[in-house]
Structure 1
């Protein structure tokens, strides 16, 4: 999607806010002993109450309203019978559609008291996302995003998952301009058009480099290769001459 009218921007902000509210409501409700399915039901109810539909269900017939990934799972985790435990590293990814407009957001959380390495990883995962967001500007190279995130990751001694990218969003869940690297990529020659809508979502890791299917029986859930803790933070943004407008905010 490329925003050309104020009405489009307001519609995008509306669904962005709903996605953020769902994610934050789920994060606040998450507790030891709860199943991932129970947490997903909380998100599904909030989306329905605001007149929105789950984008993964609408687009891919995904078996859950949201994606909930725990510990070794780094993306697209299917809500089910898995029970949350103290110290779990949990990623909540919410994407939804309302009035034909899609938005997407995500964040990683530690349930209760967690390992200090994971605490630091979460802190820096969020910073990596903002490094990418701060590189957004209409007319600038799309490659600036991956360069900024890569510089931050390298300085902190982290790795980046290199086959899970940012993407266009708005008219559909995965929209033009397609995949956008969140790592340095010399082959990336495109530029950010004014009004372009896309996600910023680096996957920062303590050693992981690629995402791989969890098992033959699960076509959705992804894990890190090599195995390593990984976090994802994601906002939907609009490129403008003055920088990024972040639309997936709860307030």
Structure 2
């Protein structure tokens, strides 16, 4: 989506705020002993109260209001009977729509103390997302996002999952530009248009390169197996830089 009117920006800010508030509340509610389904029900109730509709459910008939991925699961995890335990990494992805506007956000949360390597990975995962956001401005190359994130990842000894890309959003959950690499690329000549709405969501890993689909047809796992974190915001490009739409408030 490319914004051309203030009313469009206001609608995106509203759904962005809702998604961010749901993500923040679910992260705060995380505790050992709860199931991923219990956590998802909290998110579903909050979306309903806000008048929002789960995007994965409405768009893809996903079996949950949110995606919740634990440890070896890196994305699109189905909420269910899995019990969350101390030391787990839990990725929560919240995307929803309201009045025709869509937003998408996510984060990886630590449940209690985790190994120092995972603590560092989480902090650097958030930094990687911000590095990508810093590359957003009208007229700049789309490839600059992945190239900047790639330089950071390489310098810190990480890998990036190379088949889970950022994407356009706004009028639907996934739209043009359909694939925005968050890893280094050479052949993408596209430029960022003023008003373009899209996500920034690198998947930073200690060794994973690809995302492979599991037997349930949804859940994704790293290949080769390794811890992965993801942090995501929806942004809109302006001449001065990015406006982050998925902020709580």
TM-score grouping bracket, smaller chain normalisation: over 0.9
Q: What's 2:23 paired with?
A: 23
Residue 247 of structure 2: which of 237, 246, 249 is its match? Answer: 249
Q: What's 1:154 paired with?
A: 154
Separation of aligned partners in 2, 1:120 and 1:82 = 25
The alignment status of 1:185 with 2:185, answered yes or no, reads: yes
Q: What's 1:127 paired with?
A: 127
**Offset from partner CA, 1:43-69 (integer Å, 9 cap, x none):** 000000000000000000000000000
Q: What's 2:225 paired with?
A: 227
After TM superposition, the score normalised by the length of structure 1 is 0.99
Q: What's 1:211 paired with?
A: 211
Separation of aligned partners in 2, 1:91 and 1:148 = 23
Separation of aligned partners in 2, 1:151 and 1:27 = 29
Number of residue equivalences: 249
**Offset from partner CA, 1:20-74 (integer Å, 9 cap, x none):** 0000000001111000000000000000000000000000000000000000000
Q: What's 1:165 paired with?
A: 165
Unmatched tracts of structure 1, length 5 or more: none
Separation of aligned partners in 2, 1:23 and 1:118 = 20
Separation of aligned partners in 2, 1:214 and 1:72 = 11
Q: What's 2:36 paired with?
A: 36
Separation of aligned partners in 2, 1:247 and 1:120 = 26
Q: What's 1:60 paired with?
A: 60
The alignment status of 1:69 with 2:69, answered yes or no, reads: yes
Separation of aligned partners in 2, 1:188 and 1:81 = 42
Q: What's 1:14 paired with?
A: 14
Separation of aligned partners in 1, 2:177 and 2:90 = 29
After TM superposition, the score normalised by the length of structure 2 is 0.99
The alignment status of 1:109 with 2:147, answered yes or no, reads: no
SS at match of 1:87: coil
Separation of aligned partners in 2, 1:61 and 1:184 = 32
Where has structure 1 moved over 2 Å in runs of 4 or more? Answer: none
